Amino acid sequence: MDRFAYRDGQLFAEDVALDAIARAVGTPAYVYSLGTVRDHVDRLQAAFADLDPLICYAMKANANLALLADLAARGLGFDIVSAGELDRLRRLGVPGERIVFSGVGKTRDEMVAALGHGVRLFNVESEEELEALARVAADLGQRADVALRVNPDVDPQTHAYIATGLKESKFGLAIDRGEVLARRVLDRPSLRLVGLQCHIGSQITDVTPYGEAVGRVADLARRLQPDAPDLASLDMGGGFGIFYKDRRAPSFEEYARVVRPHVKDLGLKLLMEPGRVLVGNAGVMLTRVLYRKQAGAKRFVIVDAGMNDLIRPSLYGGWHRIWPVVGHGAPPVGEADGLAPVDIVGPVCESGDFLAKDRPLPEVAAGELLAVFGVGAYGFTMSSTYNARPRPPEVLVDGARFAVARRRETYDDLVAAETATPTFVEAAAEALDAKEASS
């Protein structure tokens, strides 16, 4: 369910015509429907109501400040993967109690920042990370609250780049090793074992492996409980799939149904870390057709948004519905029959710069406006300025109103951190200074 719909032949986000937004802010532009995000939050909370979870939104999916502020006001928690994300939450006044810190490569400085803000827990992913965290906490005279991220070794049947819970994944700890480490945490005065976590992958469209994974983590929790008095939470991760093209996405109720039996009598607070499912279909990207071109049998539509603005198609074959905003009606529900397939490509100087390949599209001319659907998650957050292209604005829609929450970048923004006349220093002298300073 989302709040984008064609009315009188043109596409609206809630009660705002997207054509009007494109005229106001230019293209390319990201547009998010706040009403859609709020619907998802409400429905997720309702489906899991009896389990009373803390929903920690995985903000790497979409970290727009105004969007985060809206979610924070609704009482959501947050899952962060860097001190940069923590900084965004700190600016919004989100208390540490509502923040969990994930990620396979936390630096010492990031640990210090997170301890300073009093995050609820660290999701720890390796033995060496655990040792590093124990040292940082001890140095600060603090105790770090730890949840171990374990790999239940179930196959989530998703794209290899976003499957994370297998034994040979870069993420997490093998579940049997997790048990050994959990017992080690119990012996460390600067650490406290407060939770277990798993996150088996992203864009999961089959709930069966999901339930199995949570079951295995719950079993481990039961084995540890007699010896771990501070064990307080089980975090089922995120990864709920959404509808992009043809694989049906499960409902929140279906996830709740497979998770509930494993956790309801466990006596632990249930945490979850949904990202994509809350925001993915709440966003579209608007882009204008620049040119059309034919090369042999291939037909291209060249648009003003490229892989720097939206990298999902190039990076992992992400499929996004693309359709004109005005003048061609709503896109067909199934396959678009009788339309000539085109490659929709961007202006970036890479063959991998495309938004869609062999895509049936109505005949469109230069200047026409297209909507790229389902880009609210891992869209803007993965964008770059490659080819010195300023990043697009982010616009929020709320009912019949819209607001620019992030303006389009300028060329000044692109060079703000650079200088053409850097100050060179003697490397040897620099090293000597550093040595003297530290002794």
Ligand X SMILES: *Cc1c(COP(=O)(O)O)cnc(C)c1O
Query: Which residues have a catalytic role annotated?
Result: 349
Interaction between residue 233 and ligand X (CB under 6 A): no
Interaction between residue 276 and ligand X (CB under 6 A): yes
CA distance 249 to 66: 27
DSSP-assigned letter for residue 281: G
Interaction between residue 202 and ligand X (CB under 6 A): yes
Q: Using the Cα atoms of residue 19, residue 24, residue 29 and residue 32 in order, give the sign of their dihedral.
A: negative
Interaction between residue 67 and ligand X (CB under 6 A): no
Q: Please identify which residue in 96, 152, 211, 237 interacts with ligand X, judged by CB under 6 A.
A: 237
Cβ atoms of 251 and 213 closer than 8 Å: no
Residue showing the smallest CB distance to ligand X in the complex: 275
The span of 261-269, 272-280, 327-335, 367-375 binding ligand X (CB under 6 A) equals 272-280
Q: What residues does 192 pair with on adjacent strands?
A: 145
Residues, the chain: 439
Interaction between residue 393 and ligand X (CB under 6 A): no
Interaction between residue 318 and ligand X (CB under 6 A): no
Interaction between residue 275 and ligand X (CB under 6 A): yes
The span of 5-13, 44-52, 273-281, 292-300 binding ligand X (CB under 6 A) equals 273-281
Of residues 150 and 361, the one with the C-beta less far from ligand X: 150
Smallest distance, ligand X to C-beta of residue 158, A: 9
CA distances to 29, 69, 318, 320 from 314, in Å: 19, 31, 7, 12
Interaction between residue 309 and ligand X (CB under 6 A): no
The span of 235-243, 253-261, 262-270, 296-304 binding ligand X (CB under 6 A) equals 235-243
Smallest distance, ligand X to C-beta of residue 169, A: 11
Site size for ligand X, by CB under 6 A?
Answer: 18
Interaction between residue 308 and ligand X (CB under 6 A): no
What is the residue-wise DSSP string for 32-87?
EEHHHHHHHHHHHHHHTGGG--EEEEETTS---HHHHHHHHHTT-EEEESSHHHHH
Cβ atoms of 63 and 382 closer than 8 Å: no
Site for ligand X in 41-60 (CB under 6 A): 58, 60
Which two structure tokens, joined as six digits, stand for 196?
A: 């277990």
Interaction between residue 89 and ligand X (CB under 6 A): no
CA distance 135 to 144: 10
Q: Please identify which residue in 10, 82, 102, 314 interacts with ligand X, judged by CB under 6 A.
A: 102
Of residues 78 and 402, the one with the C-beta less far from ligand X: 78
Helix extents (H) in 198-308: 207-224, 252-263, 276-279
Q: How far does the chain reach from its first CA to its final CA, in angstroms?
A: 62
CA distances to 88, 125, 183, 204, 316 from 263, in Å: 32, 22, 22, 20, 33
Q: Using the Cα atoms of residue 229, residue 230, residue 232 and residue 236 in order, give the sign of their dihedral.
A: negative
Smallest distance, ligand X to C-beta of residue 144, A: 18
Cβ atoms of 9 and 326 closer than 8 Å: yes
Of residues 199 and 389, the one with the C-beta less far from ligand X: 199
Site string for ligand X, 351-390 (x = CB under 6 A): --------------------------x-------------
CA distance 16 to 27: 16
Interaction between residue 239 and ligand X (CB under 6 A): yes
Interaction between residue 274 and ligand X (CB under 6 A): yes
Q: Please identify which residue in 192, 199, 312, 391 interacts with ligand X, judged by CB under 6 A.
A: 199
- The contact set with ligand X (CB under 6 A) reads 58, 60-61, 79, 81, 102, 199, 202, 237-240, 273-277, 377
